[in-house]
Structure 1
Amino acid sequence: MNKEKLLLELSSRQKEAVEYSNGPLLIVAGPGSGKTRVIAHKIAYLNKIKKIPLNGILAVTFTNKAAKELRERCQNLLNLSEDFYLDVKTFHSFCSRVLRFDGELVNVKNNYVIYDYDDQSRIMKKILKELDIDSKQVSSSLILGIISDAKNRMLSAKNFSEHVDSYIEEIASRCYEKYEEFLVRSNSLDFDDLLLRCLNLFQSNNYILDKYQNFYKYFLIDEFQDTNPLQFEIAKILANRSKNICVVGDPDQSIYSWRHANPKNLLDFEKYFKKTKIITLDQSYRSTKKIIKAADSVIGYNDERLERNLWTDNPDGEPIELLESFNDEQEADSVISNIKKLNLSLNKVAIMYRVNSQSRSFEVACNRENINYKLIGSVKFYERKEIKDILSFLRVISNPADNISLERIINLPARGISSKTFSTLSYLAENKNTSILELIFQICEEQKFDLLTKNNISQRAINSINNFSEIIKSLVISSKKEKISDFIDTILDLTGYGEFIEEDLEKGEERIENILELKSSALEFSTENFDNDLVDFLENISLVTDLENNLSAEEVEGITLITLHQAKGLEFDAVFLVGLEEGLLPHSRSLDDPNDIQEERRLLYVGITRAKERLFLSRSRNRKFRGQYGPQLSSRFLSEIPNELLKISSQNFKESNNPYSMYVRKKLLVEKNDISNKYSHNFLVADKVFHKKFGEGVIISIDEKSTDYEVTIAFNDQGVKRLMLSYAKLEKISIVEENIDDDFIKDEYYEEEI
């Protein structure tokens, strides 16, 4: 392949980005500007023209799906066979591979398991119970968020304890220490650990750092605006020697600050890498002119950005339609009615919203009209009970120290080992400084059952423990002989789990089909990776992202219902952005912070630029909150779209004295008090507040009473207090937590970027 042929179909800007290969390069790529094509062509250029071997190029993406797409493009571009090797990984998968090979230098055993958010929550709930902390007052998610923030600031449990300056942080510090002890005992890492331990390894061992710096001749990182502090440090240390690093991103699409992503990593890139070449890809090949103008107008109100203007050669297109409805039910009906008028394939249409709870009214409307839909973010394949059960068996076989997985399967199917018995085993194992399974093996091999009898474990339970020990030993032997897909059958047979789910008359058939799909996944993994390693298979599953985890998302014809966060990277012929109201978009937790408002605006920008041909914006004048309807202010962002781009379509409204019943073409200057007057208060969990008597504290729960609200506050110096809100006379200082939605965190926490 010659240079002319390789660059033939690229624009002049794209060619420039592909050819520049001597020193640091920042590609600012707007939505729909062909950045994936540029990255693929750049890899081909480095390989064919600059003669860098493919395995000497490290390309980092933020999802496994993006990595797979990039590999396929490079394969087609270079006309490679299916078994070619190209190092395209996510940050987490790259760091995990480093730790598998060299992690023991930082005390990480190579058969560790990766705990997901569900695992972490279970651990933290145990710790809170052990420390006698009321989980209703201090949630596991709040503590895990503080610990994650500490790890992203590169603070160990010990270092964090030295920086505590509030009551809630003191609790988090105690939990952090216990949490780390649990992970060590279980030979487990969380997602932050993958990054932190890898960075620690590079910082503490020059030999290992030299090995990776010398092996890779060029570094490519996509979606750089989404990197967190740990990822940026890893990028800097790896490319520090050669300076041959290309980062691609768009600060206007940075929407993950709640998981520590920082657009300044991209904005300040040239401060860390001197003589950086900056190339802007600002031509959109996706959207119509009207859609591009609307997006550019909205994002222009942000100040933390690189100045540039999106443009396109595409047609002007249809006007952007603004749908105004009386309430959220009417909003859903209006959206579905407009979708039916489009006469598009349902797969080409998406309804996007700020929080998951907004999907309900659209699901109801779809069901009423017999319209298929795909709910992205519903129960994901790898989170289904039967799949987590089988994976827990696999994890215990792979890592006998995994006490969390052991707890899930030790009495599955029921074999007479109660939770009380398991707690006793856990206590005994902790005293002997060993894992629960190793303790069981030791007791059963040496016939030391009196230890169990002395601790009030019944003979029936002892017999069950002994039987379970034999089952696990047999499975360990089988795991070394069989393909993973066949080994799953062995698990179903030896443990009795297969028979157990077959007896489920209601969901048994569906669960068997899901397990068959898991077997297919295992077979595909072994074929694609020429590998039958159980540790690698489990790691691959642990690093699956949210959209990839929705197995049937692309298999069913239907409208896509999806949050704006989850929609990043996707495109549709027609997009409906709903709930454009103050308190939803921008979210209520963002109203007091200018930086948060800018991120909310970026979120809308992402939504607008998902649309190729048709864009609909929707707002409701009234919305149900706590079971009652209240008036809604139109989103301030609507006033940032030029009038000439919009076509306003209002429904027939009921008579209303609502003072906000107006068209939204006036520019709204929203005062803080205007928002808070909608309800009896404007406080939220995690708000930092001041009380005249008790001083500063953090709100950890708000409970509605008949005529008031009871607020629970963790005060820095006075401990936890419960106060009636109307009498407390609290002053809001700031918001402690990042912008995390309660109904969004479990689906997204630690996942999208993997």
Structure 2
Amino acid sequence: MNDAAETVLEGLDAEQRAAAATLTGPLCILAGAGTGKTRAITHRIAYGVRAGVYDPHRVLAVTFTARAAAEMRSRLTSLGAPGVQARTFHAAALRQLQYFWPVSVGGQMPTIVQNKIRLIAEAAKRLRLTTDRASLRDFASEIEWAKVSTITAADYPARAAGRPAPAGVEHTSFAKLYEAYEDLKTDRHEMDFEDVLLFTAGMLTEDEKVAAQVRQQYRHFVVDEYQDVSPLQQRLLDLWLGGREEICVVGDAAQTIYSFTGARPDYLLQFRSRYRHAEVIKLVRDYRSTPEVVRLANSLLADRTAEDEQIARRAAARKRAGENTDTQPPPWPAPLTLISQRDHGPVPQLTQHPDDDAEADWIAETISQLASSGVALSEIAVLYRTNGQSQTFEQALSSRGISYQLRGSERFFSRREVREAIAALRTSSLVQTEEPVPEAVRAVLSSIGWSRTAPESTGAVRERWESLAALVSLADQLAAERPGLTVRQFLAELEERSAAQHAPTVEGVTLASLHSAKGLEWDAVFLAGLCEGLMPITFARTQREIDEERRLLYVGITRARTHLYLSSAAARHTGGRGRRKPSRFLAPLRRELGMEEPVRRIAPGSGKPSPNASSRRSTVTCATCGAALTVASHIRRQRCENCPPRYDAALYEALRTWRLDYSKQLGKPAFMVFADAELEVLAERKPAPVDEELLKIPGIGQKKLQAHGEGLKQVLREHSS
């Protein structure tokens, strides 16, 4: 190697240097957060170019965002390798498709649909499906998932089994919508962004001349963020390679947070299985965060590793007993243990607050103190799980005159559903009445999508509900603070807040969801709203989904360079009963910080410990497969929805028959007597028909037993005899 090439390796640590100096053959770089992965791969490419091993025009580096691709090109240019192509998957595929279409296909290439919503709305109208903006967004997301997972409309019902119904539309009906959408595109000679990858892959598969020319053009490939590759992207990558092994992939399975879009870490984790002679190099020296932040991140992942060992032991015991273990959740991959290379910094703070407003006020006050100490506002971020949480922080920062910028979402008062809600309130007849504001707001917003219980689906429906729920919570708060508040005054307050938060800001605190913070970093990071139901999110039920929530929190922690704050709130609004529980993920962090578990109380300031208080909250797991349980009915049963029931079927049917007859006599719905989950537990445990035994059943209390116990005991006695 010449001296010019060797200078490229100067300044790299031992692991980065080993990665950069490995120029041929398959290479897998497992790079933890903040370990300099972009530095390693750009120096590797530049080193290969300067050494004469790579022709810069025959190297293709692909990543997932235009920003990351631009950063890579800039670094390569400064390192003396300006001719290398660094693009996103879509940009690289589109370039090839435009070049080869006239030769391979002929005629004019279809135009790209910039937004699927218009076509999906027309397809839905043809099928007479009722839609709104939120459901259309959910349909678009589901179509994108299906296409990157290489699932056709015909295959969708079978392949999507187990997935939530998009916008509540059953899978067979959605498959028809999917097919109608594809037909519309074909009729209008249009294609979407997923088609860019599909058409390019199809062209390379069917036209050997085109495939040979592409493979002649690109000899070496580098893939960044490889843990986020979808099946469609992997298929295209395989076609580019054409059986060759000149590929370098970089990723971290602990940062897989986009599974809902079709991303799979399996390709990264199984790289060595596909390429048996591949070199695997681990980057674990963290140059971003202080030792205090890094230790907290490590402890979060280590706690899940310990859980996995317990699950494996339980599965082994069940296997020895001859029980079914097919529902065993996937093993947790061994995470990288990061080692900070920075000087020590402040200890991360973990706090709990009475309500959301108190939490937001504390965060705003702490930000003010950080700014006074010299931390730039642009180097501070407040991260949360859902976009609907932003309004409280927007208001708290605005009230102190602290500028901010929203990343990844519209400002709260600019969101369509918020504007619709305000318009509906303004035109409602309740404006002229003396109806209490909380009741009036609930009545009006119920007509446009708000409900007392949160939807289980993800995406647009959930975000819309979160925004409307934030308005309901604000109504509760203002009514409590201002006795006699009218709907007209509430509207005036909303208008004032809207005007204040539309002030232009150039430099300010970043407010962002955890997903949109991926790939970014700040000097100070606030992770807010870390309570059960938000972290992990309510609809995360299976072990796989809860694991992804843990990784999402890990990504949030590793965004912080120096200052890290983690907080939760016991109630949504001021004066509310503190029923929220801190996130289960905070338990290992408290142990790392040497903190005790918070004691639950009936209400703020009551001084009376709850009879259900415990010093430590443990995760309830399925008695069959060991998966974590988060849904109340699953917790009562001690069984996840995927595992077979263990109860006495005859007793269960007898209980259901009695409940149905009895509920008809009372004129009540059957579930108001006893829930199905309670009947299942009764049929499984077969308790003696006496009060002290029945009170041990989850969900059955003294009041319910007094009201309905006699008939229940009679059924148990008859079955026993």
Normalising by the smaller structure, the TM-score range is 0.5 to 0.7
Contact 1:321 1:646 in 2 (8 A): no
**Residue 56 in 1 paired to residue 52 in 2?**
no
Alignment of 1:120-139 (within 5 A): 120-135=116-131, 139=135
Aligned equivalent of 2:470? none
Aligned equivalent of 1:604? 553
**Residue 76 in 1 paired to residue 72 in 2?**
no
Contact 1:323 1:650 in 2 (8 A): no
2:83 is aligned, of 85, 95, 99, to: 85
1:225 is aligned, of 216, 224, 227, to: 227
1:575 is aligned, of 513, 516, 525, to: 525
2:152 is aligned, of 148, 153, 156, to: 156
Write out per-residue CA displacement over residues 386-421 of structure 1, whole angstroms, 9 at most, x where no aligned residue: xxxxxxxxxxxxxxxxxxxxxxxxxxxxxxxxxxxx
Q: Compute the displacement of 1:354 (Å).
A: 0.4
- The farther-off stretch of 639-648 and 195-204 is 639-648
1:633 is aligned, of 572, 581, 588, to: 581
2:605 is aligned, of 654, 657, 661, to: 654
Contact 1:24 1:244 in 2 (8 A): yes
**Residue 594 in 1 paired to residue 596 in 2?**
no
Structure 1 unmatched runs, 5+: 386-551, 691-722, 733-754
> Residue 69 and residue 110 in structure 1: after superposition, are their counterparts in 2 closer, same or farther (change >3 A)?
farther
Contact 1:349 1:573 in 2 (8 A): yes
Q: Compute the displacement of 1:318 (Å).
A: 1.3
**Residue 321 in 1 paired to residue 361 in 2?**
no
2:9 is aligned, of 2, 7, 13, to: 7
Aligned equivalent of 1:421? none
Q: Compute the displacement of 1:384 (Å).
A: 12
Q: Compute the displacement of 1:169 (Å).
A: 2.2
> Residue 646 and residue 337 in structure 1: after superposition, are their counterparts in 2 closer, same or farther (change >3 A)?
farther
Aligned equivalent of 2:515? 565
Q: Compute the displacement of 1:348 (Å).
A: 1.0
Partners of 1:378 and 1:237 lie apart in 2 by 36
Alignment of 1:656-735 (within 5 A): 659=610, 666-670=616-620
Q: Compute the displacement of 1:556 (Å).
A: 1.9
Partners of 1:384 and 1:7 lie apart in 2 by 49
Partners of 1:109 and 1:635 lie apart in 2 by 57
> Residue 623 and residue 659 in structure 1: after superposition, are their counterparts in 2 closer, same or farther (change >3 A)?
farther
Structure 2 unmatched runs, 5+: 306-330, 417-502, 623-627, 645-668, 679-721
Contact 1:251 1:263 in 2 (8 A): yes
Partners of 1:731 and 1:187 lie apart in 2 by 52
Q: Compute the displacement of 1:206 (Å).
A: 1.7
Aligned equivalent of 2:42? 40
Write out per-residue CA displacement over residues 328-387 of structure 1, whole angstroms, 9 at most, x where no aligned residue: 01000011111122221111111000000111110010111111011112349xx999xx
- Name which structure has the greater RCO, CA cutoff 8 Å, separation 6+: 1
Write out per-residue CA displacement over residues 139-196 of structure 1, whole angstroms, 9 at most, x where no aligned residue: 3344434433432342333454787979822212221221111112333222221222
Partners of 2:673 and 2:201 lie apart in 1 by 50
1:359 is aligned, of 390, 407, 419, to: 390
Contact 2:224 2:250 in 1 (8 A): yes
- Corresponding residue SS for 1:631: coil
Alignment of 1:270-349 (within 5 A): 270-300=272-302, 301-302=304-305, 303-342=331-370, 343=373, 344-349=375-380
Residue identity matched to 1:558: G
Q: Compute the displacement of 1:644 (Å).
A: 4.5
- The farther-off stretch of 653-662 and 204-213 is 653-662
- Corresponding residue SS for 1:305: coil
> Residue 336 and residue 138 in structure 1: after superposition, are their counterparts in 2 closer, same or farther (change >3 A)?
closer
> Residue 212 and residue 259 in structure 1: after superposition, are their counterparts in 2 closer, same or farther (change >3 A)?
same
Higher strand share: 1
Partners of 1:144 and 1:729 lie apart in 2 by 36
> Structure 1-normalised TM-score?
0.63
> Residue 35 and residue 641 in structure 1: after superposition, are their counterparts in 2 closer, same or farther (change >3 A)?
same
Q: Compute the displacement of 1:207 (Å).
A: 1.5
CA RMSD of aligned residues (A): 3.8
- The farther-off stretch of 6-15 and 156-165 is 156-165
Partners of 2:90 and 2:570 lie apart in 1 by 44
Partners of 2:550 and 2:611 lie apart in 1 by 22
Q: Compute the displacement of 1:730 (Å).
A: 7.4
Aligned equivalent of 2:465? none
- Corresponding residue SS for 1:589: coil
> Residue 212 and residue 384 in structure 1: after superposition, are their counterparts in 2 closer, same or farther (change >3 A)?
farther
> Residue 243 and residue 330 in structure 1: after superposition, are their counterparts in 2 closer, same or farther (change >3 A)?
same
Q: Compute the displacement of 1:274 (Å).
A: 2.7
Contact 1:633 1:660 in 2 (8 A): no
Aligned equivalent of 2:712? none
Contact 1:164 1:170 in 2 (8 A): no
- Corresponding residue SS for 1:581: coil
> Residue 729 and residue 564 in structure 1: after superposition, are their counterparts in 2 closer, same or farther (change >3 A)?
same
- The farther-off stretch of 559-568 and 370-379 is 370-379
Partners of 1:318 and 1:661 lie apart in 2 by 35
> Residue 595 and residue 580 in structure 1: after superposition, are their counterparts in 2 closer, same or farther (change >3 A)?
same
Equivalent residues, number: 518
